[in-house]
Structure 1
Amino acid sequence: MFRKLHLYFLPHPDNNHRAFILQPKFLAFLIFIYLLNQSFLRSLTVLKPGILGYASEITSQKVFEFTNQERLKYDLPPLSFNSTLARSATAKAQDMFENNYWAHTSPTGTNPWDFFKQEGYQYSIAGENLAKDFYDTETVIKAWMNSPTHKANIINSKYREIGIGIVNGTLNGIKTTLVVQHFGTPISGIVSGDQTSEENNYNTDKVGIIESPEIIVNPAVSKTINPVTVSKTLGLIMFTIILSVLLIDAYLTYKNKTYRLSGSSAGHISFLAIIFLLLLFSHQGTIF
């Protein structure tokens, strides 16, 4: 049993000095398994959208703190947290789930400023940032800061207040997390909602829960798993196995001075290293 098993991982005369895992037929089988998994997850999210879902570690407090940290890098004063803007940001995310769209303006023509007005926030200047399918706050902020238009909102010296809505729900048949930032400066002399500066205690209690679609503000880590996470995890497992076998193969080939007519292990390792870097830095989430 062990003798047959080790042929999959170690070069040996019985496998022509090439581990079975590294041979074309087995590699093709692994690719087939990965593609089958992709098809299964895609079908499952459409037929049973409640089975797979979001897994987010993003909180309003972290978004609030990291946003102000970015402003401080540009010698700008921190924004104050405003509860009215938080409600308008949450309402915007809820509307995107209810009407199944991903944009600043809804299919019915509702624009971001309508949500400000609905909550009674009277502004002299306002802005909005959107993000979805991210799993941690750092990545969200980094994506926004890498986008000139989103960065312009974060470091706009004219803004004084911010509200954040973080909402879990189902969009286009897939459970995801939407992050909405609403920036604003109230009309002079008008105060809308409660304000909290960065130095004060920040309230991270849940603002509200709506049954359909599922709305949770400041969510904790969810028990459901995002299908993108499943795919990446499977890909990393396969990559790790193949790379490990390649390293062992390269070492034993060099140690035993085995001569091969086929490609070298070093070349294969370099190719896999490039794939790993692409996988590691692959795009996560979407901003708007």
Structure 2
Amino acid sequence: MFFAFTHYVPKIYPGILGYASDIKISELLNLTNKKRATAGLSELNINNELSRAAYKKAQDMFAKDYWAHVSPDGKEPWDFILTEKYDYSYAGENLAKNFNTSREVVEAWFSSPSHKDNLLSKNYDEIGFAVVNGTLDGYKTTLVVQMFGRPRTPSYLAKVNEGSINEKILESAKEESVVENSAELPKSLETESNGNLFTLSYVSFPSVIDVSAAQKVVGLTFGGFITGLFALDVWYSKKKAIPKFTGHTLAHLSILAITVIGIWLALSPGKIL
């Protein structure tokens, strides 16, 4: 009943259930560049146009209620980059959603071969991020969009330290959400870039219930309770020498353990694309 409640209520009354996260662009940039530094690669610089393209991609996913690299009407990531007049020779996109922290997002990308290829590609010099809150498929969530690029004409953007990143909220972006990871996309389209510093800040929104966490806690609590009952049954039966005619307790416990593990894995927050 609880799982049905958390699945259908948001579709009938959007906004009742929420997803809380603590994802910041400065951390995403820092963690991404740390992965690159460990691999012996140069750091990526924040780019204005790529960040705008990432933000508009997130807004488009919320507006059209989809979770994909290509929109239902056929709009590709490159279209968002081109709209911002970023003239690129290489470009890529990673998406993420429903994660709790910046580290979880980057680690999930890094654990996926296709997303890792984007993070560690030698073809990119610049990067843009958007962290936007909104409602997707009836749920309050946070989308994270990461755009990569290399301009055909070098922008000569000065190196920016993590502490100096200007995280500001656009007036039009009153709600932000967490993004899912996305795989590396084709790198053939071209556009223009001027390399001004631009980032979107993280804004948290209050949530009545963190759906993923609540489902996991309830599921595991229920599983633990049933496991405890089985264990108590075994102990009491042995203590009182009660014969068990239909007891396959060990088999039941094994099935229950597999079920609980399945619940834990299925309800782990965070998706990448």
Q: TM-score scaled to structure 1, two decimals?
A: 0.74
Give the Å deviation of 1:196. 4.7
Aligned twin of 1:86:
51
Residue 207 of structure 1 pairs with residue 173 of structure 2: no
3-state SS of 1:210 partner: coil
Indicate which of 195, 213, 227 corresponds to 1:243.
227
Unaligned runs of 5+ in 1: 1-35
Q: Contact 1:250–1:266 (CA<8 Å) still a contact in 2?
A: no
Matched, 1:233 2:198: no
Please tell me whether the aligned partners of residues 86 and 182 of structure 1 are also in contact (alpha carbons under 8 angstroms). Answer: yes
Q: Cα gap change, 1:261/1:142 in structure 2, threshold over 3 Å: closer, same or farther?
A: farther
Partner residue in 2 for 1:285: 270
The 1:215/1:41 distance shift into structure 2, 3 A limit, reads: same
Q: What does residue 142 of structure 1 align with?
A: 107
Q: Residue 204 of structure 1 contacts residue 218 of structure 1 at CA under 8 Å; is this kept in 2?
A: no
Correspondence 1:118-157 to 2 at 5 A: 118-157=83-122
How many residues align structurally? 249
Shift in Å at residue 76 of structure 1? Answer: 1.9
- CA RMSD, 1 decimal: 2.7
Matched, 1:42 2:7: yes
1:170 corresponding residue in structure 2: 135
Contact 2:176 2:202 in 1 (8 A): no
**Which residue of structure 2 lines up, in the alignment, with residue 160 of structure 1?**
125
Contact 2:129–2:146 (8 Å) recurs in 1: yes
Separation of aligned partners in 1, 2:208 and 2:148:
31
Q: Distance in 2 between matches of 1:275 and 1:101?
A: 30
SS at match of 2:167: coil
Equivalence for 1:108: 73
Structure 1 position 95, deviation (Å): 1.5
1-side partners of 2:159 and 2:148: how far apart?
Answer: 14
- Structure-2 change in CA distance of 1:76 and 1:189 (3 Å): closer
Aligned positions of 1:23-42 closer than 5 A: 36-42=1-7
Cα 1:195/1:97, change in 2 over 3 Å: farther
What is the rounded CA distance, in whole Å, between the counterparts of 1:61 and 1:244 in structure 2?
45
Give the unaligned 5+ runs of structure 2.
Answer: 178-200
C-alpha distance in 1 between matches for 2:27 and 2:241? 55
Q: Deviations over 1:108-141 (max 9, x none)?
A: 3332122223333332211111122233334333
SS in 1 for 2:261: helix
- The equivalent position to 2:42 in structure 1, one of 77, 81, 85, is 77
Q: Percent identity?
A: 37
Shift of 1:62: 2.7
Q: 3-state SS of the aligned residue for 2:30?
A: helix
CA change 1:267–1:203 in 2 (3 A) is: same
Cα displacement (A) at 1:207 = 2.9
Give the greater-gyration-radius structure (CA).
1
